[in-house]
Structure 1
Amino acid sequence: MEQIRRAVDALMSVLATLAAVGVLAMMVHVCADVIWRQVSGGPLPATVEIVSRYYMVLVAFLPLAWVERRGGMVSVELLEGFMPQGLIRISDVVVALIAVVVYAGLAYASWGIALRNYNTGTFVTALQYAVPVWPTYFLAPLGFALAAVIVLLRGFFIATNRDWHSAGAGE
């Protein structure tokens, strides 16, 4: 189990790093666009399209699993104060299973969309430049699938009464 936890935490570090690189790249790109506008009087080609179709998609979907691993998603614990520990554990496992189904459904649906966009070679035109955007459609199913795996592992750890939050979970 410790090897699984270490592998998950290593993957979460990679996802957090990719998201941070995406934020930094977006910041540098937008700053370069502002500077270029001042110097040349015109925008860098496709800045809006690249920021909205690449950086923001990367930052929105890839860190989902990282947020799930850290326990950062919204949770409602209104009745937990009145429930015995065993019932809380059952409730947490049921919630994890529901989340897995939702994430898996979103991954499946967005995978079909990604394949359609890949097959058609989806692009946007910005200042007479064709910017291919089909690759970014694969980030959503990847993010949802990774989140589903993390929630499934969390549910397994809870169901088997193992500590999910130790070893770098961020709690």
Structure 2
Amino acid sequence: MALIGRLITRLTNLASGIGAACILLSIGHVTLDVTMRVIFGMPLSGTVLFVSVYYMVAIAFLAIAAVERDDAHISVEVVTSLLPRRPAAALQGLSLLLTAVVAGALALRTWQEAMVKFRVGAFTMEAGDRIYTWPSYFILPVGFGLMLLVALWKLARFSSASPGNGRAATSEGAGDE
């Protein structure tokens, strides 16, 4: 089980690293576009499209699994903090199951949409250039698929924890065994 946790951690770190690289690429791309426009009067075509369709999508969705892995999503624990341990643990298990179901549904649906865009060869015309947008559609199912893996991993750890342990089973990262 520890091997699976380390693999999930590596995959989520890789996806987050790609998202972080996209931040740098976006900064570089926009800087080059502004420089080319101001100094040479020749802006790069497609900068806004690349930033919005590729970089921003990768930045937002490739890190979502690492956020889930680290329990860093926004949560409100006003009610559960007042509950006894067993009901709080049951709600936590239900929350993990719901997270897995929603992440799985989103991964499946975005995969279907990505395949539609791939088959039609989706593109956008900008300044007379054809810029293919279909590859960006695959970023979402990758992000949601990784989030599904993390949620299933956390659910498996939660389910295998001793009854008195409940909450401790998911409060650490996937590879912390």
Normalising to structure 1: TM-score of the pair?
A: 0.92
Letter in 2 for 1:149: L
More contact order relative to length (CA 8 Å, sep ≥ 6): 2
Q: Residue 114 of structure 1 aligns with which residue?
A: 114
TM alignment of 1:82-93, pairs within 5 A? 82-93=82-93
Overall identity of the aligned pairs, in %: 30
Note the residue ranges of structure 2 that are not aligned, 5 or more in a row: 162-167
Q: Residue 46 of structure 2 aligns with which residue?
A: 46
Letter in 1 for 2:24: L
Note the residue ranges of structure 1 that are not aligned, 5 or more in a row: none
Counterparts of 2:156 and 2:174, CA distance in 1: 18
Letter in 2 for 1:34: V
TM alignment of 1:10-159, pairs within 5 A? 10-159=10-159
Write out the 4+ residue segments of structure 1 that deviate beyond 3 Å after TM superposition.
162-170
Counterparts of 1:158 and 1:97, CA distance in 2: 10
Q: Output one character per residue of 1:17-43: Cα deviation in whole Å (capped at 9) or x when no partner.
A: 111101000010011111111112232
**RMSD value, Cα:** 1.8
CA contact (8 A) 1:90 1:159 kept: no
Letter in 2 for 1:85: R
Which stretch of structure 1 is more off in the superposition, 157-166 or 60-69?
A: 157-166
SS of the equivalent of 2:74 reads coil
CA contact (8 A) 1:6 1:167 kept: no
Letter in 2 for 1:31: T
Letter in 2 for 1:70: D
Counterparts of 1:27 and 1:98, CA distance in 2: 36
Q: Residue 165 of structure 2 aligns with which residue?
A: none
Normalising to structure 2: TM-score of the pair?
A: 0.89
